[in-house]
Amino acid sequence: MKTITLHNNIEMPVLGFGTYQLENNQATSDLIIKALDIGYRHIDTASFYGNEESIGKGIKESSISREDIFLVTKVWNSDQGYDNTIKSFNESLKKLQTDYLDLYLIHWPKDLSKETWRAFEDLYKENKIRSIGVSNFLINHLEDLLSTAKITPMVNQVEFHPYLVQPQLLDYCSKNNIKVEAWSPLMRGEIANIDVIDKLAKKYNKTHAQIVLRWNVQLNIITIPKSSNVDRIKSNFQIFDFELTKEDMLSISRLDRGKRIGPDPNNFDF
């Protein structure tokens, strides 16, 4: 598994297993066990997903030791603020059956994010979190946070796919040594309808998903595809045995339309 080195020298697996919309049940625990068996070592969840207990159970029941797993969760909007963040963090630890996190993220930028970040910094200094970051932060949100932050976020997890490349945000994060992570990299399946991706899938004899995930990895974008289908989970992992040419990489990047599938971080009401 290829890793990306965060600015505090923590190694983060470039490919992870996303768990959005997976229910809090044994089926989800079984999927976690299966993903770990396949080779995933990076699991991404959030308190908002409501499945942390099943994630923790799956990790406990797997044959992979906790130390070999990069576990990520997020604090939800209604839990932001210093005290609420500490409380939410402790609840997440309990549900996940662990005594530390590998990465903790602010799920969305809110008015209280600076106070939330102060709690993150304290938890990090107490060695309860190995790395800290944000999610869905655009340049204006990052600038605001960095105006008072003592520690620069290690990761910014954002919507990123062939129709939403956000080159200015990527450039800003690169200059500030913040690693970018992609959510919804497969556009909820829409990539199957893109001619360029279709042609490349045929050229390389790979699935549409494998082409797009490989594009992410070659851009040094951490990515967390999500599926509840074991065959797809396995297929999504098989992207380290080929390489896209520079021309083919560019042909995907040129698909950028600034098109969002999810909410606009500058205009949401939750």
Does a structural domain hold residue 201? no
* Residue 23 backbone phi and psi in degrees, to 5: -80, 165
How many domains does the chain divide into? 1
Q: What is the mean pLDDT of the chain?
A: 98
- Report residue 252's pLDDT band, with 50, 70 and 90 as the boundaries: very high
Does a structural domain hold residue 258? no
Does a structural domain hold residue 34? yes
Tell me the per-residue pLDDT of 202-231, one tens digit each, with 9 for 90 and over. Answer: 999 999 999 999 999 999 999 999 999 999
Does a structural domain hold residue 138? yes
* In contact, 182 and 160? CB cutoff 8 Å: yes
* Residue 108 backbone phi and psi in degrees, to 5: -140, 150
Does a structural domain hold residue 112? yes
Distance CA(167)–CA(158), nearest Å, equals 12
Residue 117 has pLDDT above 90, yes or no: yes
Does a structural domain hold residue 254? no
Set 40, 49, 104, 124: catalytic member: 49
Does a structural domain hold residue 92? yes
Does a structural domain hold residue 89? yes
Tell me the per-residue pLDDT of 119-171, one tens digit each, with 9 for 90 and over. Answer: 999 999 999 999 999 999 999 999 999 999 999 999 999 999 999 999 999 99
Domain that holds residue 168: 3-189+222-227
Q: Is 49 a catalytic residue?
A: yes
Q: Which domain CATH number covers 132?
A: 3.20.20.100
